[in-house]
Amino acid sequence: MRGRSQKLERDVNLAGKSREELLALLKHPNKWHRQMAVRLLGRRVRDAEGQASLIRWVSDHEGREALGGIWALSQGEGWSKDYGESLLEHSYPPVRSWAVRILGDRGATESVARMRELAKHENNLEVWNQLASTVMKPGMAPGLAVIGELLRRSGDQEDPRVALMLWW
């Protein structure tokens, strides 16, 4: 669908695009193009060179462009515990939040110490929420230390809902 004043998008066959063209589509204004590029990159990037290009993409970009690279890496074989932990220091809060989520989804209980360090200084409430929900999953018992750090700092936050995120 498009508005009458908008140009019809004719570039819809993305399967034949190169890796570089798909990476460029992570900046496309159309959500369908961005999501399809993520899906195709996730399927294709199986070699070390492709994974390195996605990792460079994430480090060189902010916003949804960086998130697209993370999602493609997590779908393919480019995600590792060490890389996920390095993203806990990314400047864009949603990248940190997604790194926490993916580490937790993959059962990286050994990453809890790094998550605790993040909890000591993180100020973004969305990242707090993801930390709390990730470490409270079954099998993440070491995560109680993360909750403890968030509780220690919960007075720093002006949002009255912080305590509700942490009570369970």
pLDDT tens-place string over residues 59-104 = 999 899 999 999 999 987 778 899 999 999 999 999 999 999 999 8
Separation between Cα atoms, residue 89 and residue 114, nearest integer Å: 10
**Residue that wins the pLDDT comparison between 97 and 144:** 97
The Cα-based distances of 61 to 31, 91, 106, 132 in angstroms read 17, 10, 25, 27
Residue 34: what residue type? Answer: R
- Which H or E element spans position 92? none
Lowest mean pLDDT among 14-18, 43-47, 96-100, 153-157: 153-157
The Cα-based distances of 71 to 93, 121, 151, 153, 166 in angstroms read 15, 25, 30, 30, 27
User: How many other CB atoms are found less than 10 A from the CB of residue 101?
Assistant: 17
Structural contact between residues 25 and 51, judged by C-beta atoms closer than 8 angstroms: no
Please tell me the pTM assigned to this model: 0.84
Average pLDDT estimate for 119-146: 85
